[in-house]
Amino acid sequence: MRTYLALGSNLGDRMDYLQQAVTKLAQEADIRIVKKARIYETAPYGDVPQDDFLNTVVAVETTLSPDNLLQVIHRIEAELDRKRVVRWGPRTIDIDILLMNGLEINTPSLTIPHQELTKRAFVLIPLQDVYDEEMLFGKSLPEWIDAAGNAQDVTLSKESWLV
């Protein structure tokens, strides 16, 4: 299933955490990295004072169920020292399932599509780099980015992927 994952980091060596997360995802037998978006520097979202984030999106193909993919993501976050102390607080790595092959899921542990997707330019802008479709929920990604109203907080980073 084509799946889009958002990744963000704002603690320590942010680029290294993104790179490690993608490497760990690629090492999973049931996940294949298809495309990686460029890296973006982003002002923090929410009211928690913290450093800027590096954000990106990766497109993957997976045979995992949504719940099993979420378990893999939580394991990778734990391996990369993710602590869930403050909602929307600083973190070494954050990996969110944005979209999963058109599935709609709403359970206490998982919502797909991601409930905040269309409100966050820091997700929509990198998604634009890797998204295969022209429309998302009846609008183009540029229309969603404009509607989010926070695109000015997202800039292309000097950081880039290791080959």
Known catalytic residues are 82, 91, 94, 96
Q: How far apart are CA 151 and CA 18, in angstroms?
A: 21
For residue 4, which of 120, 148, 114 has the smallest C-alpha distance? 114
Tell me the C-alpha distance between 160 and 15, whole Å: 8
1, 116 contact by CB (below 8 A): no
| Burial of 135 per CB tally in 10 Å (0-12, 13-18, 19+) | exposed
